[in-house]
Amino acid sequence: MSELAPPSPAGRSRNTSAAKIRHGLSATLLWLVALLFLTPLIYTVATSLKPASDVFSVPPSLVGKEIRWQNYADALDYLPFQKFILNGLIVAVSGTLITLAAASMSAYAFARLKFRGRNVLFAAFLATLMIPQEVLVVPMFSLMQEFGWVDSYRALILPWAFTAFGVFLMRQFFLTIPQELADAAYIDGAGKFRTFFSIMLPLARPSLAVLAVFTFINYWNSFLWPLIITNSVEDKGTVPLGLSLFFSQQGSQWNLVMAASVISMIPTVLLLLLLRKHLVSGIATTGMGGR
């Protein structure tokens, strides 16, 4: 940790090589910790490539007798796993688009337009953030029954597409845009809509990207709500639901289950890599992420 810094001003020059060695050791140890931490993920990938007979071999080994790529094809064929992926993409992509549109529009209103009751309404928005999902899912299920939406894409997408969180995030951003820019647009004859679409939104691209990635990941990974609202898992199930069904039916075929797990991780890991440069600052400014 911070002991690695030179201990005292007097010893600095004498200790540089010792400090270097210590720093090297510390770095090595840290990478080992990271490797240990990644073991479950490595184990997932390793198991996904083993023949079934080698999954619980003694002694445990990373590689089976053969590298069996066929597991992935089998996992995709078993159950309508391809259907789960398609459902997951439909739900996550449209959910993200709706979230972005609704959040950025109302954020613009709250940040940039003056209207009566603005502060009260915004406070009401923020208040909804305090309600845990569990309080909502019970009545939401009844509401979906009333609407006749049980087991539909609508029910998977719409209930979670309107979040005060996204509004709050986008509003914070719009507040930082100098008023002169909006004034200039106004004087140039741009109305509120033009100003929003041709000035505010393009400028907001980084914030929109962060919101989009996290919204997509939340939709893609969501488990409790799809579990509740989906009757015909085989028809409307998303990927996590498909995985758990896969497991409950084929719990013994760990190699196939792990292949399906790897497939389920691909989109989110790709997005994470895409986002990695903005990850720390994104978390710092938005406080969003895992749930």
Partner 1 sequence: MTMESTISPAPERPVPSGPPRSKKSWRDSDTAAATVFAAPSTIGLTVFTVIPIVMSLVMSFYNWPAFGDKSVAGTANFSDLLSSPEFRRVVLNTVVFTVLYLPLNLLVSLGLSLWISTMRRGRQTLRVLFFVPVVTPIVANVLVWKMIYQPNGLIDGIGQQFGVDMPNFLGDPNWAMLALVLMSVWQGFGYNLLVFSAAIDSIPQSLNEAASLDGVGPWQRFRHITLPMISPSMFFATTMTLITTFQVFAQPYLLTGGGPGATTETLVLFIYREGFSNFALGTAAAGAWVLFAIILVITALQFLFQKKWVTYDV
User: Of residues 166-225, which lie at the interface with partner 1 (CB under 8 A)?
Assistant: 167, 180-181, 183-188, 191-193, 196, 199, 217, 220-221, 223-224
The reply to whether 81 sits near partner 1 by the rule CB under 8 A is no
Q: Cα(210)–Cα(187) distance, rounded to whole angstroms?
A: 32
Which residues between 29 and 68 bind partner 1 (CB under 8 A)? 30-31, 33-34, 37-41, 43-44, 47, 56-60
Which residues between 94 and 123 bind partner 1 (CB under 8 A)? 101-103, 105-106, 108-110, 113-116, 118, 121
Q: How many CB atoms lie within 10 A of CB 228?
A: 15
Nearer to partner 1, 44 or 152 (CB): 44
Of 17, 120, 123, 291, the one binding partner 1 (CB under 8 A) is 291
Nearest distance, CB of residue 188 and partner 1, angstroms = 5
Of 18, 21, 26, 197, the one binding partner 1 (CB under 8 A) is 26
DSSP for residue 80: T
Of 74, 228, 234, 250, the one binding partner 1 (CB under 8 A) is 228
* Helical packing angle, 205-221 and 81-112, nearest 10°: 140
Nearest distance, CB of residue 77 and partner 1, angstroms = 19
The reply to whether 154 sits near partner 1 by the rule CB under 8 A is no
190: tokens are 């741009």
Q: How many CB atoms lie within 10 A of CB 265?
A: 17
CB 76 within 8 A of CB 84: no
Q: What are the angstrom distances between the C-alpha of 277 and each of 217, 236, 265, 272, 284?
A: 17, 35, 20, 9, 13
Nearest distance, CB of residue 76 and partner 1, angstroms = 15
Nearer to partner 1, 53 or 145 (CB): 145
Of 54, 156, 240, 253, the one binding partner 1 (CB under 8 A) is 240
CB 193 within 8 A of CB 265: no
CB 98 within 8 A of CB 161: yes
Nearest distance, CB of residue 161 and partner 1, angstroms = 7
Q: Cα(19)–Cα(123) distance, rounded to whole angstroms?
A: 53
